[in-house]
Amino acid sequence: MEQPAGTLRADQVVLRRWRVTDLDALERAIGESVDHLLPWLPWAAGHSRRQTADFLARSHDEWETGQAFGYAITSGAALTGSCGLHRRVGAGGLDIGYWIHPRWTGRGLVTMAAAALVDQGSRLAGIDRIEIHHDAANPASGAVARRLGFTEIEHRPAPEPLSAPGESGTDVIWRLTVDQWRARTSEQARRAG
């Protein structure tokens, strides 16, 4: 099964495949971000060193099986967040997930990271679309999708009962086809050239 590159670069961010040696830095980033993550990510409530180690091991296994491709978001030497491409939206699709340390919000880093993921995902064999799913009460995630040219296609009840305090129970689904992404990047290159 084809895999994406282990390192991706986009403007001010470098995405690199998670490593077991990231345990201390990731645990620190999560610990400093718990209040920021808790409304949207239920795993933040049970954050522990063991849970973080399990995440890193699972990230390695998921990468090897092609189920998901998780990356550390870095800017300079700092670990600023996490993102990934996930095969959880059916054949031909990838879903992007992301979070960022609150100290790094408002700088466009998540948009840069998501653009790198879309670009890499669009190059994988058999992929015809990329999606972003987020809770309706989290408009910041929708803003990332909008800036990258995704189309909001659906609001639907969340597949699982509410599990994080900020959730409304309604998922917003955004989609961008590989053809749309290629046309968008070609147009941007033409304007820049």
Ordered structural domains, the chain, with CATH: 8-192 (3.40.630.30)
pLDDT in tens, the chain (193 residues): 578 999 999 999 999 999 999 999 999 999 999 999 988 888 888 889 999 999 999 999 999 999 999 999 999 989 999 999 999 999 999 999 999 999 999 999 999 999 999 999 999 999 999 999 999 999 999 999 999 999 999 999 887 776 777 888 899 999 999 999 999 888 887 888 7
Sign of the CA dihedral running 106, 108, 113, 115: positive
Q: What is the pLDDT of residue 162?
A: 63
Q: Are the CB atoms for 190 and 182 separated by under 8 Å?
A: no
Q: What is the pLDDT of residue 1?
A: 58
Distance CA 62, CA 19 (A): 13
pTM: 0.93
Q: Are the CB atoms for 134 and 158 separated by under 8 Å?
A: no
